[in-house]
Amino acid sequence: MIFDKLINYLKLDKQEFIFQFNSHPNYPSALAFSDTLNFMGIKNDAYELDKEYWDELPEEFIAIVENSFSLVKKSGNSYAVYSEKAKTLDKEELYKKSTDFVLLFEKTEKAESKMAFNFKPILYAIFAIVVIYSFVSQTIFEAIFNVLSLAGVYISLEIFNQKFGNTSTVIGSICGGGATASQNTNSCDKIIKQDKTSILGLKFSDFSLIYFTGLTVLGLFLPATAYLVKGFTLVSVLAIGYSLYIQAFVEKTFCRVCLLIISILVAQVLISSLFFLNISFGIGIFLLAVILWVLIFSAVIYFNSLLEQKEALQKSNAKNLRFKRNYELFKSQLQENEKIEFHDTQTFSVGNKEAKIRLSIVSNPYCGFCKDAHKLAESLLEKYPNDISVQMRFNYSPERSNEKYDQLISDLTHIYYNKPEKEFLHAVEEWFETRDESKINTLSGGTATSENLIPLVEMSKENSNAGLNFTPILIINGYQFPDKYDREDILFFVDELIEDDEI
């Protein structure tokens, strides 16, 4: 299912969205789509709404148009629809091509796409350096030849990325324009994705990337490399003929992006044949060219193999996660443990005391692994302020304590009982970030506090009697979080836990 325009409009990380959507136990249902948007920070509500009420919908909503989740935007008497591609429909067409499913959403700051590293600025900078050098240091035809090589590299890179599921706006604009957009797009996909060529795992389009990258480097040393460059461009005539044969007689459809690459190759053949005249052969240049092609060829093989393995692992992981994220399975594992009854549920308790979900964290302030558990609980508390309460059940025993620990617990107790809840949460967060007792003492008022710690001692005894000696441990409504799951997996089940009256 393709909804590239929708993902781009919502500014989501496409790979993350696809992975989370594919790994949902109800994939590819509307529930899976809605849950994935919620998980990525886009609050939404789904409805089955008769078309007669659609005029009352907000200007932007999500619907299933032509069997694809699509963003629908009202624009006067027409509707702009964003899915695999953007299109405009009138009301009658939209109603005819849509189901009654509508999803109302609210974008948040967390919905912004998060990319760890964007290589494109570096790529553009390299391209700019090559172009400037070519026009400053070489003849006009040598410079034009290098610009054509760069164009070939860029288009080939876009095809290379698209092969692994990444959307290319460049390829889409070349293949998807005009009245026959759908046909053109399908033609490009058919040629690119169903390429049967395989040499050491590389497709015909991969050799395009290798060829243009090598030609770009050799082009920087023109006219010294003119002999080799001219030879390679003449050999590319074979590739042009092969590509045209495949499109015309095998696939029986023409790919616009392939024709564009062929045009670049033809232009380079003409330039090299007509203007690269003063050429000489040097064994040193030839050996350097061989090394260059071997390095580029090896690099493309390596990255191709690496990305194929990554794609295979993601698909396998998505299938496994559908099983793991099944709520009924999680619930059975949760209830497999004997329910723990705590008598003290108020000490260091934050959030809505009447909430349906009571999350308890058994921890120790000096436990290095407890920091992430507290962060997780606080994030849940922030996201579900009315549905979750959190109790921090520190293991504390005066017999196994020291002066610093006693003072820290006393300061936290003082903040809990005498200051707003937010300040207590801030103090706990500050402690796990800095591990500085003096900062917590400052937050409590700056003087040595001496609070009644008996409730903490009794709470620790309850933890010990229940066998909760190791930290951190998460407990949901008295049920210990299953060992077979990572603590962060609770994020997938919170909504269903809240709706489950049995829990």
What's the distance, CA 167 to chain centroid? 13
Count helices and strands (H / E) in the chain. 19, 11
CATH of 4-111, one of 3.40.50.2020, 3.90.70.10, 3.40.1080.10, 1.20.1250.20: 3.90.70.10
The strand ranges marked E within 11-112 are 43-48, 60-65, 68-75, 78-82, 86-90, 98-106
Query: Tokens standing for 465?
Result: 């009697």
pLDDT in tens, 365-375: 888 788 888 99
Give the Cα separation of 25 and 319 in Å (integer).
Answer: 9
pLDDT score recorded for residue 266 = 93
Rounded CA separation 409/13 (Å): 42
N residues, the chain: 503
Q: Selecting from 3.30.70.360, 3.40.30.10, 3.20.20.370, 3.30.160.20, what CATH number does the domain 338-499 have?
A: 3.40.30.10
Query: In sequence order, what E strands does 292-386 have?
Result: 349-351, 357-363
Q: What is the mean pLDDT of residues 82-98?
A: 82
Task: Give the span between the Cα atoms of 69 and 90, in whole angstroms.
Answer: 18
User: Residues of CATH 3.40.30.10 domain(s) within the chain?
Assistant: 338-499
- Separation CA 357–CA 495 (nearest Å): 10
Which helix (H) or strand (E) element contains residue 459?
helix 454-465
Smallest CA-to-CA distance from 474 within 458, 461, 491, 457 is with 491
Task: Cite the residue boundaries of each domain of the chain with CATH code 3.90.70.10.
Answer: 4-111
Q: Is the model's pLDDT at 180 over the cut of 50?
A: no
Largest Cα separation within the chain, whole Å, is: 94
Asked if residues 307 and 470 have their Cβ atoms less than 8 Å apart, the reply is: no
- Identify the pLDDT of residue 129: 94
The single-letter code of the amino acid at 244 is L
The rounded distance, in Å, linking the Cα atoms of 281 and 228 is 8
Q: Note whether 59 and 79 are within 8 A (CB).
A: no
Model confidence pLDDT, tens digit, residues 228-265: 888 889 988 988 898 888 778 877 777 788 888 999 99
pLDDT at 194: 58
105: phi then psi, degrees, rounded to nearest 5: -130, 165
**Per-residue confidence (pLDDT) for residue 133, from 0 to 100:** 93
Residue 50 · residue 102 · CB < 8 Å = no
Residue 378 contacts residue 429 (beta carbons within 8 Å): yes
d(CA 436, CA 274): 75
Question: Which strands sit side by side in the sheet containing 43-48, from one edge to the other?
Answer: 43-48, 98-106, 60-65, 68-75, 78-82, 86-90
The rounded mean pLDDT for the chain is 81
Residue 116 has pLDDT above 60, yes or no: no
Sign of CA dihedral 417, 423, 424, 425: positive
**Inter-axis angle of helices 120-137 and 140-162, nearest 10:** 160
* Separation CA 57–CA 147 (nearest Å): 50
CATH hierarchy code of domain 120-312: 1.20.1440.130
Q: Are 443 and 431 contacting, i.e. CB atoms less than 8 angstroms apart?
A: no
The answer, yes or no, to whether residue 312 has pLDDT greater than 50, is yes
Q: Could you tell me what percent of the chain has a pLDDT over 70? A: 86
- pLDDT tens digits, residue range 411-446? 999 999 999 999 999 999 999 988 898 999 899 887
Kindly report each contact of residues 35-42 with a partner whose C-beta sits within 8 Å and lies 24 or more positions away, as own/partner. Answer: 35/495, 37/10, 37/103, 37/105, 38/495, 39/491, 39/492, 40/12, 40/13, 40/16, 40/110, 40/111, 41/108, 41/109, 41/110, 41/111, 42/10, 42/12, 42/105, 42/106, 42/107, 42/108, 42/111
- For residue 43, give the 3-state DSSP assignment: strand
Nearest by Cα to 257 from 113, 344, 399, 155: 155
73 forms bridges with which residues in the sheet?
A: 60, 80
Whether the per-residue pLDDT at 328 is higher than 50: the answer is yes
- Helix, strand, coil percent content, the chain, rounded in steps of 5: 60, 15, 30
Residue 251 has a CB neighbour count (10 Å cut-off) of: 17
* CB 234 within 8 Å of CB 269: yes
Q: Residue 317: pLDDT band by 50, 70, 90 thresholds?
A: low
Q: Which amino acid is at 359?
A: L
Cβ–Cβ under 8 Å, residues 396 and 409: yes
- Model confidence band, residue 184 (pLDDT cutoffs 50, 70, 90): very low
285 to 141, 234, 280, 340: CA distances (angstroms)? 21, 18, 10, 77
Residue 148, pLDDT score: 94
pLDDT, tens only, 376-397:
998 999 888 889 999 999 888 8
SS (H, E, C) 368-396: CCHHHHHHHHHHHHHHCCCCEEEEEEECC
- Give the pLDDT confidence of 42-59 residue by residue, as tens digits: 777 778 888 887 888 888
Distance of CA 372 to the CA centre of its chain: 22
Residue spans in the chain of domains classed CATH 1.20.1440.130: 120-312
